[in-house]
Amino acid sequence: MKQLAILVFLFISGNVLAQAPCDYSVNVTDSIGTYKSTKDHIIWEKNFAGNSSYIFYSLAMTDGLPTLNVQMLQKSKDFMKANCFDKNSKLYLQLFNGKIVTLLHIDQENCGSLIRDDKGYDNRVITASFMFPKGSFEDLKSAPVSMMRIKYLNENEDYILKKEFQSELDNKVYKPENYFINNLKCIE
């Protein structure tokens, strides 16, 4: 009977502690090198008065260099200002434990591209890649993220990250605060 109780305990604790497997959109190794990237994850969204804005994260590992890929999507029938990334752009992550982790932009100037759809909406897509500083993985794995600040070419913009939300884009539930806690293992 004692052995059965131990077996049941181990089975339950194994299922509770098991982490979700990594879900990659790309995972290739060839003669040029290796590259893997996690699927896009919605971190922030705002829908108001016919205007929509979304921020997606994905983690990538390129020949041993870990990066955070950030993609922003704006949709509106009105004028949209262009936020540009340049060599001085940064992404700041404020953690619940008070620490701030600063990610550095890879030196590629980018103001995105504007695409008009068949319903008369302008869609702006901008992407950027940020490098992790040494030692930041341990900080990001130890505490949830409460706020993100992006330093663009001409301004800073703050984004409050929610513990959990159901996206209006795809009706899935996302947990942005714990994104790094749950996903950094995929590129280590």
Number of structural domains the chain divides into: 1
Dist. CA 139–CA 65, nearest whole Å: 18
For Cα atoms 15, 19, 21, give the angle at the middle one, nearest 5 degrees: 120
Largest CA distance in the chain: 71
Of all residues in the chain, the percent with pLDDT exceeding 90 is 62
The arithmetic mean of pLDDT across residues 69-92, rounded, is 91
DSSP letter (8 states) at residue 8: H
Q: Which residue has the higher pLDDT, 12 or 116?
A: 116
* 90 vs 114 pLDDT, higher one: 90
Residue with structure tokens 């590259």?
35
Highest mean pLDDT: which of 91-95, 113-117, 153-157?
Answer: 91-95
Give yes or no for residue 94 having a pLDDT over 70.
Answer: yes
Sign of CA dihedral 92, 95, 100, 105: negative
pLDDT of residue 18: 46
Q: Which domain holds residue 148?
A: 2-187
Q: 15 or 125: whose pLDDT is higher?
A: 125
Mean pLDDT of 156-160: 96
- 125, two tokens: 């897509």
Tokens of 147: 């706020």
Task: Express each pLDDT in 9-54 by its tens digit.
Answer: 444 444 444 456 898 998 888 888 888 999 999 999 999 988 999 9
Strand partners, 52: 47, 75
* Residue indicated by tokens 């290796």: 34
Q: What is the pLDDT of residue 28?
A: 84
* Residues 44-70, mean pLDDT to the nearest whole number: 93
pLDDT of residue 107: 78
